[in-house]
Chain A
Amino acid sequence: MTAASDSLGQPVDLREPGGWRRSKNQIMTVLMWLAFVIVLIPLGFVLVTLVAKGADAISWQFLTNSTIPPNVVPLGVGGMGAAVVGTLEITGFATVLAVPLGVLGAIYLNEYGGNGILARLISFMSSVMTGVPSIVMGLFIYIIWVLHFGYSGMAGSFALACLMLPIVIRSSYEMLRLVPNSLREGSYALGATKARVTLTVVLPAALSGIVSGALLAVARAAGETAPLIFTILTVEQTNPNLFSGPDTSLPLQIFSNAQSAYTGANARAWGAALTLVAITFILMIVARIITALFTRNTR
């Protein structure tokens, strides 16, 4: 770019051979790399600690035993089975609620709303809504649901669904925008209605992108603690009924066990944390694989 060629076609560097400008450039490049390394330190530190301490705690019994023991009890008695079941149930139901609604919302924005004021407002507010603290969603569901119907796993799902909704809308919207207009026009030319075009042509074309975006939203929701504090309370036994009675989840158990002074509780917190991170990592890797397949197909 900055090189020219001499008569022999050899590149000649026209920049000053040294001096402050080039040193400054080099210093800045080093600083940019340093920024990356600085981030690697806590990431590596937390992952190593997590795996080292978590692996000690995790066993088949830890993952499946349905009684969470009191804090004073050392590791080896009981397990986090109740929390694993709770997390899967609550996050699963939240996904069932938020993903269809989010995709529908994105369909409205891209297929129906056009450049209208309402569509622009919804689009803008959904990106603003991604910044609403998760704890506020918890308080909101507490007020409109828990105060009337009591604590339940489902209330937790509602709070997580509120959190996921704008994320799913945004990511699905970006994917729908990538679907070429010629596909839509081709289907209209065959006489299909708009709903049919959207559901059978546009949505399948964007599906893998939408799925990977939704999985990232699920991964984020699975690790959320704050919205669950006011919606599911906490229990020590597996609650098989998602729709009534207090429930528990891995993030909540980590939160309460982390504050404990007992080593048994701390060890259980690390075990639960490794389990939770494993679940979110698996979701993220699946999302990445789907995205990679998707980008290869469109090329």
Chain B
Amino acid sequence: MSTVTKADPATPAGSASPLHHRRPLGDRGFQILALSAGLLVLVILVLITVTTAQQSTTWFSGGFKDIFQVAFDGNTRFGAMGVLYGTVVSSAIGIIIGVPVSVGIALLLTQVVPARWARPFVYVIDLLAVVPSVVWGLWGIIVLVPWLQKIYLDIASGVNGIPVLDSLFGGPNVTGASFFTAGLILAIMITPIITSLSREVIATVPTIDKEGAYALGATRWEMIRGAVWPHSKGGVTGSVLVGFGRALGETIAVALVIGDSVEVTPHLFYSGHSIAAIIALQFGEANGGEFRSALIGLGLFLFVLTILVNLVARWFVERSARRARGD
């Protein structure tokens, strides 16, 4: 510090000057420490890719025919398509149910409820996020599944013989633990994240746009359609994708309610499986060899998939945030 007091006042600290070289060691050390902590994020992401790829070479060396088959029996067949199908279908159901609800709540909290009353509502939505995944799974398997099974059976007998509906909601193997149940649980679980991200985006809509719409005689809904939506659709799309990424990677709740059978079927009320769930449920039994390699390979698959979804999602969110800041 004493060096600073002797400094030439014509060269202020921080500018390119001899002072720069005389920074105390601790100061440099702290900067390096902070930089390495930041770099840790990149290091972890790269290491995840490299190590999982290394550990799954046995599986990948089996070739496309082995990877792109449906069956996964833990014995000789280790296909990715069956579990991938379950992951995508259950996540899609989660999105279809969860998005209207989440965006509806985001609009409610930003446009309908006065700002000072919104806080308790936000707390309630955040409670959903604090309930751990495994607790949703426990509730799902013990309470929800037996209850839904009766409803599914009623629906299945109701749609019996109707062309499209029968293949979606009918069939003889209808059961409580199914793609649809997993989708329902996912819808509940992704609602808080989509709501909170959408809320942030919608909150950046300029008041002048909204007042302009009202001044033209718009109703509140017309104002939302005309002023809020054009401004925030990119950000809301990003939020939905973040939610989709969460749904793809959600493990324990899905593992407990999806039914533990690898199948590709249009019947939504049938048992299925997902990538994350099969890793969680079968890793203990996979002692070495191709089985474990396949499960780690599926983990890499899931990692790449969620990274891609999140890259696109964050790009949307950041772009809309930049636009809101006006640069």
Contact = CB atoms under 8 A, between A and B. Distances in A.
Contacts of B237: none
Task: Name the interface size band of chain A.
Answer: 35 or more
A34 B104 contact: yes
Contact of A35 (B4, B104, B136, B188): B104
A42 B33 contact: no
Main secondary structure of the interface of B (DSSP, over half): helix
Interface stretch (A25-33, A66-74, A238-246): A25-33
Task: Name the interface size band of chain B.
Answer: 35 or more
A21 to B, nearest CB: 6
A156 B301 CA distance: 22
A137 to B, nearest CB: 8
A49 interface: yes
A273 B256 CA distance: 15
A223 B132 contact: yes
Could you say which of A105, A109, A169, A225 has the most chain B C-beta atoms within 10 Å of its C-beta?
A: A225
A281 B132 CA distance: 10
B97 to A, nearest CB: 9
Contact of B108 (A25, A33, A126, A251): A33
Nearest to B248: A133
A131 B128 contact: no
A194 B112 CA distance: 45
A269 B35 CA distance: 43
Given A129-B44, A191-B4, A258 B37 contact: no
Contact of A225 (B5, B133, B222, B302): B133
Contacts of A127: 310, 314, 317-318
Interface stretch (A55-63, A138-146, A204-212): A138-146
Interface string A122-138: 10111111111111110
Given A35-B104, A133-B251, A193-B24, 20 more contacts: A29-B221, A32-B107, A35-B103, A46-B135, A46-B139, A112-B34, A122-B39, A129-B45, A132-B249, A132-B306, A135-B299, A143-B296, A169-B38, A193-B26, A193-B27, A199-B30, A222-B132, A225-B251, A284-B130, A288-B123
A277 B131 contact: yes
Given A36-B108, A140-B52, A225-B132, A131 B245 contact: yes
Contacts of A224: 132-133
Given A134-B251, A140-B51, A225 B101 contact: no
Interface in A76-106: 101-102, 104-105
Interface in B32-49: 33-35, 37-42, 44-45, 47-48
Contacts of B276: 133, 135, 226
B141 interface: yes
Interface string A157-192: 000001001100100000000000000000010011
A167 B135 CA distance: 22
Interface in B311-325: 311, 313-314, 317-318
B134 interface: yes
Contact of A39 (B40, B191, B246, B318): B191
B84 interface: no
B150 interface: no
Contacts of A15: 217, 219
Interface in B198-216: 211, 214-215
Contacts of B33: 104
A29 B112 contact: yes
A113 B107 CA distance: 35
A140 B48 contact: yes
B322 to A, nearest CB: 11
A42 B129 CA distance: 13
Nearest to B211: A1
Contact of A284 (B101, B126, B134): B126
B242 interface: yes
B13 interface: yes
Interface in B112-146: 112, 121, 123-139, 141-143
A269 B138 CA distance: 8
Contacts of B133: 223-226
A258 B141 contact: yes
Interface string B1-35: 10011000000011000000001101101110111
A226 B4 contact: no
Nearest to B26: A195
A136 to B, nearest CB: 5
B35 A254 contact: no
A39 B310 contact: no
Could you say which of B4, B24, B103, B219 has the most chain A C-beta atoms within 10 Å of its C-beta?
A: B219
Contact of B135 (A188, A196, A276): A276
Interface string A212-251: 0000000110111110011000000000000000000001
Given A128-B311, A133-B276, A255-B137, A14 B217 contact: yes
B130 A273 contact: no
A251 B34 contact: no
B134 A39 contact: no
A104 to B, nearest CB: 4
Contacts of B128: 39, 43
29 contacts: A22-B219, A25-B221, A29-B221, A32-B107, A39-B191, A107-B34, A112-B31, A124-B314, A124-B318, A125-B45, A128-B314, A131-B246, A131-B309, A132-B303, A133-B250, A139-B279, A165-B40, A194-B31, A198-B30, A223-B130, A223-B134, A225-B134, A225-B252, A229-B283, A229-B284, A230-B283, A254-B135, A277-B130, A277-B135
